[in-house]
Amino acid sequence: MNKAIKYRVYPTTEQSIMFAKTFGCARKIYNLMLADKIAGYQTTGKIPMVTPAMYKQEYPYLKEVDSFALCNVQLHLQAAFGNHFSKARKKRTGFPRFKSLKNSRKSYTTNNSHGTVAVSDGAIRLPKIGWVKAVIHRQPEDGWLLKSATVSQDPDGKYYVSVLFEIPDPVRDHVPDLSNAIGLDYASDGLYIDSNGNKGTNHKYYRESHEKLAKAQRRLSRMQGSRKGEKRSANYEKQLRKVNRIHRHIANQRLDHLHKLSTEIANRYDVVCAEDLDMRSLAGRGFGNGRATMDNGYGMFLGMLGYKLSDRGKYLVRVNKWFPSSQICHRCGKMHPEMKDLKIRVMDCSCGHHIGRDQNAALNILREGLRVLNESLAA
C-alpha cells in the first residue's frame, strides 16, 4: 500500500532558484520529447522511444538538474501515450498536450536511491538540493519505505514536497481485542493520566529548553531594536536568530516526544478512549495556566493517536468533554459534585472507594468510551 504525505517546505533563495530551474527543465524535456514523438509518428506511423539523454548535448543546462526529475517526465509521457491509445475506454485520455509556461503546474518528481531523499526533524533531503527546511507535521513510521518525492510550487508561491511511502499492508483480519483498552484523562500539568494511574508527561528537557528560551528572550528585549520603530542593531538580529532557533528546537522536541508516546500506545492497545477537549476554550478560560495548556499539545497528541490507531485497524474513541468523568465514583456510580473543584485531588466515596481524581476520571472515560464503541459497532 502506498501513502503520500505532503509537507510545506521553506527553501533558501539558492534552493528556490534550483527548484525553478528543475521545474523549467522538466517542462522543456516534456515538450521536446512530445514534439519528437509526434514528428516520429507522422513520418513512420510509430511512436518513437525517446530518452532525456538524447537532448543533453544540445541543451547542456539539462545536466545541471536532478536527472531523476527528467526520467520521471519520460515515464509520465509514456504513460500519457499509453492511456491515450488504451483499448480500455475507461483509461483512455486525450492526446498529450504541450506545456506552456503559464498553463502548467510547477512541479517535478524525484526518486529515492539509498537515502538521497529523506525526511528528518524539520527538514527534507532532495537530490541536487540538499536539506530543505520543512514543517514535519507527521513523521514516517518504522517499516515505511520512502519511494519518491514530488516538489511543487502553488500559484501563491508556496513550496510543497509530497513524499510517497510504501507502507506494509494493514493486517486485514486484525480483530481488535476490545478488552485490550485504555482510558486517558487530560492533565493540564502534564499530558494525560491513564486508567492504570500512569502519567504521560511532557519531556523534562522541554522545561529546560523553555528556561533557555526565556533567558534568550530577556536578553533580546534589552538590545537595541526591541522597541517598535527602533533601528535593529547587529547584535539584536543575531540574538533574534538565536531565539528563533530555540523556538524551532522546542517545537521539534515536542513533536518528537508526542510521536514516541502515541506510537507506543497505538502499538500496545487496541482501543483508546480519550477525553475530547476544546483546546481553544480551555486556554481562554484560564484553566490553570493558559500557556501550559496550549503548549502541552494534547490536541496534537490525540490527532496522532487517531491516525496511528486507524492505520493499525484499531480504535480511538473520543469521549465528549461534557461527560462528568471526574464526578462519578468508578466503583459504585455515585455522583460527587464536589469534585468540580479542581483542588480536590482524591475522591473519597461512601462506598469505601478511595482513588486519585485523575485515575478515577480515566477509568470512567474508558468505560464510557467502550460503551460508545460497542453501541456504534452494534449499529
Coil, strand or helix at 6? strand
Q: How many C-beta atoms lie closer than 10 Å to residue 280's C-beta?
A: 11
In the complex, minimum distance from the CB of residue 330 to Zn ion, in angstroms, rounded to a whole number: 8
In the bound state with Zn ion, the residue whose beta carbon lies nearer, of 35 and 351, is 351
- Give the residue with the Cβ less far from Zn ion, 178 or 332: 332
Q: Is 275 marked active-site?
A: yes
* DSSP string of 207-259, one letter each residue: HHHHHHHHHHHHHHHTSTT-STTPPPPHHHHHHHHHHHHHHHHHHHHHHHHHH
Q: In what order do the strands lie in the sheet with 145-153?
A: 106-111, 145-153, 159-166, 2-10, 130-135, 123-126, 118-120
In the residue annotation, 177 being an active-site residue is answered as: no
CB of 347 to Zn ion, least distance (A): 8
> Using CA atoms, how far apart are residues 260 and 258, in angstroms rounded to an integer?
5
Whichever of 28 and 336 has its CB closer to Zn ion, that residue is: 336
Q: Annotated catalytic residue: which of 66, 270, 275, 276?
A: 275
Contacts of 233 (CB under 8 A, 6+ apart): 223, 224, 225
Q: Name the minimum Å distance from CB 331 to Zn ion.
A: 5
Say which residue the cell 526565556 belongs to. Answer: 214
* Cell matching residue 166: 510504501
Binding site for Zn ion (CB under 5 A): 329, 331-332, 334, 349, 351, 353
Q: What is the CA radius of gyration of the chain?
A: 28
Shortest distance (Å) from residue 273 CB to Zn ion: 21
CB neighbours of residue 376 within 10 Å: 10
CB of 131 to Zn ion, least distance (A): 57
Q: Is residue 169 annotated as a catalytic residue, yes or no?
A: no
149 vs 328, which CB is nearer to Zn ion? 328
Catalytic residue among 66, 185, 194, 276: 185
SS3 for 160? strand
Q: How far is the CB of 353 from Zn ion (least distance, A)?
A: 4
Q: Under the phi-then-psi rule, with left for phi > 0, alpha for psi from -120 to 50, and beta for the rest, what region is 6?
A: beta
Query: Distance from CA of residue 332 to its chain's centroid?
Result: 42
Q: Whose Cβ is closer to Zn ion: residue 163's or residue 329's?
A: 329
Nearer residue to Zn ion within complex by CB, 45 or 352: 352
- Catalytic residue list: 185, 275, 358
